[in-house]
Structure 1
Amino acid sequence: MTSTPDVIRGIVGVYHADGGLRGELAYLIGKARGTAHCGLCDVTHHALGRRREWRELVAALGVPVELVHLNERSPAVRAASEGRTPCVLAVTDAGHRPLLGPDELAEVDGDVARFATALRGAADRAGLRWAPDER
C-alpha cells in the first residue's frame, strides 16, 4: 500500500470520560448533577444504549471507527487528544489528525446527521479524503 498522508484510514472518537464501571458511574452521576458532559456521548448514545442512527453512520463511513474513553487511549491517541476531549481524530498514514473538538461536538447537539455533516466538513477543510471502501 502506498503511503498517502491525506487519506482517512479510520476514525477515533475520544469520550470525555473514563471507561469501566467506576468511570461510567462517575459520568452518569456527573451528568445528572450537571457537572459532566460529553458531546460525543450525546451523538453515539441515548438512554438505552447506542443510537441506531450512529450505527448506520458508522457503516456508511467506509472506514473503521473506534470509540475510546480517556483511560483507554493509546499513546498516539493520547498525544493527539490530550486536553481536547471529547474529540474525533482522523487516522492517516501520517498519524492522528484532529477533526472535531469539544466545541464542534457541542454544536451538533447530539444530532447524528449534524455530526456527519460536521465530520465531512472538517475532513474537507483539513484536506483529507476518505479511503475507498475496502470491505
Structure 2
Amino acid sequence: MKRKLALLLLVLLLAPAAAQTLLEVQTATAISLKYDPQVRLPRGSFRALGPGVDRWLAKLRGADGYGHWEAYVAQGVARRLRDVYVGQVATGFAQAGYLLVERKDFSAGNEKHRRYVFEGPAGQRAMLYVIEAPDALVWLVGWSE
C-alpha cells in the first residue's frame, strides 16, 4: 500500500513539470526578426550582441547595401547543425513570402562562407550570411537599405 501511495505521489509531483515543458514547446517555437516580424528564426539563446558582432560583420562579402543586421551564433555541438539552422531560416523567409534569388559560396582561410539573398513580395531584399568557423557557426540576417 505504501508503495502505491508513493508512486501516486511521485506521478502527481512530476505532472506539472511535463505539462510546463509541453506548453513551452507549443508556445515558444520561434522568434521573429525585428525588421520584419513575419520572418521567424530558430528559437534559442543563439542571438549575439555586443562588440563581437562587429568582428563578424567585418568578414561579410557582397553585403554592400544591406544593414539592420541581426547576428546569431551556435557553438560546441550545436554548430554542427548548420543545415538545420539554414533550413529553418529559409523556411521562415518562405512562410513570409520571400523567395531565394541568389546563393554564393566563399572560402576565407579555414572558414566557409555562404550567402543567401531572398526577395520579398514587395521587392524588398534580405540576406542570410552563414560563416562556418572552426569554433562557431554564425548566421547574420540583413535587410536591403
* TM-score, with structure 2 as normaliser: 0.24
* TM-score, with structure 1 as normaliser: 0.25
More helix, by proportion: 1
Higher-Rg structure is 2
More strand, by proportion: 2
- RCO higher in 1 or 2 (8 Å CA, sep ≥ 6)? 1
